[in-house]
Amino acid sequence: MDIKAIISLMIFICTYFLIAIEKTPKVYVSFAGVLLLLLFNVYDFNEIPKYIDWDTITFLFGIFLVVKIIEISGFFNYLSLKIIKKFNYDPIKIFIFFPLLSWFLSGFVDSITVLTFITPLTYTLCRILKINFIPLIIAEVCLANIGGAGTLMGDPPNVILGSMFGFGFTHFFIHNYIISLISGVFAISIFYKMNKRELIEIRGKINKKFFEEIVPEEAIEDKELARYGILGIIGVVLLLILRDFIKKIYPLNIGICSIFPAIVILFLKGSHEKLKGIVKEIDIETLLFFISLFAIVGSLEKTEIIKNFAFYLKDFSQNGFKMNTLLFWFSVSTSAFIDNVPEAMSIGYLIKHISNFIPYRFTILIWASSLGLDIGGNFTPIGASANVVAYGFLESQGIKIGWRRWIKLIFLPNLIAVTISYLFIILKFLMGFY
């Protein structure tokens, strides 16, 4: 291993460690890592763009824009209040359905956005209904990450892996969505059993007449923007689906699929008062973080560290059962403590090299790693961005959960979810359906 390879590996490890302990904002840590790579001449400045997946960055930018339009309109709050009223303020139905709503929405809207609006809403409603909001919010986080595992656009690791290997919406939907659904149903069933006694007690004490004055429609601040935003997200999904069928005729990349509907909306309604500063309101920091991470992980590819590691695993990887087991549980265990975005990038490069000499199709490794990375992040408050959003909101309200309580509440439901996912991965491998 030459000196540049050693330097890039050390910078990579240090960056991972500093991101994991969260003492400094991760975007600044990743910026510092890129700067060190330049200072130590691992990269020439002009080489960096070659290792950045601009398709992924463009896709996320477009999704952030469309989702922000829906959020600004107030549609998410309307949807939640409508569901609550439909269920007649029954705490048991709310406890079961809200996490399932979180699961469903996270398949088509990034889980960070889902938790951004659903956490404060859940907190407020639970205080009114006198429900213990901590188990419910943790259940929503868990189901959001499980739901995000089911589609291309659900979680950033899926976007990264999809872009690296040219997989589209239908690929992830066919191979991950049913697994995500079954895992989610089992997880919420466990959450319910853990809280059943308390929910039954609360159900008999609720004065429903107090809530009859709530009008969900009043939560929509702008109906026109809501319509445009919903049409925008439908447009993204349709383009992603059509892309899988027409890519041989016209190479429509995933970035165009999300940015096109967003630009059309802004072209038509960009003068709207609420949309004038929309670019300032989306999560630009996350995009910059991803760009920096692509450069840092790319340095391991440039210095052939990942390639050499793949050759080290050559004999082991010949056994598909062992390789899938290793990759899945490694993804589950490490994503609980390390941001799953750089992990997805690293594993993606590893799979690319391993695919050259394994006797089975490498695609099974994609589904194993994506499910492991997405769902494994549930185990700790820092395992996924959605966790950090919910945990941070509760802390802002003066509520200290702590790692011990978080793990106690989520461990069993999420362990069941990841175990079911693993069993399905092995079944898919044995059946050859991957």
pLDDT for 216 beyond 80: no
Q: What is the per-residue pLDDT for 284? A: 84
212 — pLDDT class (breaks 50, 70, 90): low
Q: Encode pLDDT of 225-253 as tens digits.
A: 999 999 998 998 888 888 877 777 777 88
Q: What is the per-residue pLDDT for 419? A: 97
Do residues 52 and 298 lie in contact, with contact meaning Cβ atoms separated by under 8 Å?
yes
pLDDT for 341 beyond 80: no
The number of beta carbons lying within 10 Å of the beta carbon of residue 411 is 12
pLDDT for 329 beyond 90: yes
Q: What is the per-residue pLDDT for 207? A: 63
Do residues 100 and 188 lie in contact, with contact meaning Cβ atoms separated by under 8 Å?
yes
Do residues 2 and 303 lie in contact, with contact meaning Cβ atoms separated by under 8 Å?
yes
209 — pLDDT class (breaks 50, 70, 90): low
> Cα dihedral sign for 323, 326, 331, 332?
positive
Q: How far apart are CA 336 and CA 331, in angstroms?
A: 9
Q: What is the mean pLDDT of residues 32-46?
A: 92
* Close Cβ partners of 271 (under 8 Å, ≥ 6 residues apart): none
Helices (runs of H) and strands (runs of E) counted in the chain = 21, 0
Extract the tokens encoding 303.
Answer: 């210095």
Q: How far apart are CA 267 and CA 269, in angstroms?
A: 6
51 — pLDDT class (breaks 50, 70, 90): confident
> Cα dihedral sign for 55, 57, 58, 59?
positive
pLDDT: which is higher, 120 or 48: 48
pLDDT for 204 beyond 80: no
Among residues 114, 76, 58, the alpha carbon closest in space to that of 225 is found at 76
List Cα–Cα distances, 222 to 12, 272, 375, in angstroms. 45, 11, 35
Among residues 340, 255, 251, 242, the alpha carbon closest in space to that of 65 is found at 255
- What share of the chain has pLDDT > 90, as a percent? 34
